[in-house]
Structure 1
Amino acid sequence: MSLINDELKGRIASEVAAVTRLETKLTLLVGFVVTAIPLLLSRKLELITGLAALAALVFALCISLDGLRPRRWAVVPEPQPFVEELGGSSRIEILGVLIGTRVDAFEGNKRIGEIKGRRMHQALIVLLLAALLSGASVNLGRADTAEGSKGTNSCKVNASEGDHP
Structure 2
Amino acid sequence: MILREDGVSCPDRSPQAKQPSPTFSRDPRHAENRFIALAVPFGSVANKEQLERGLHVAISETVRIPPKSVDPAIKNYHWLDLAKGLFDAYDTGAEAALVLDANGHIAEEPGFNVFVVKDGSLKTPAYGVLPGITRRTVFDICVEIGLSATAALVVLRSKGLTRCSSPRLPAGLCP
State the TM bucket, normalised to the shorter chain: under 0.3
TM-score (norm 1): 0.21
TM-score (norm 2): 0.20
Return the structure number with greater relative CO, CA threshold 8 A, min gap 6. 1
Looking at secondary structure, tell me which structure has more helix per residue.
Answer: 1
Higher alpha-carbon Rg:
1
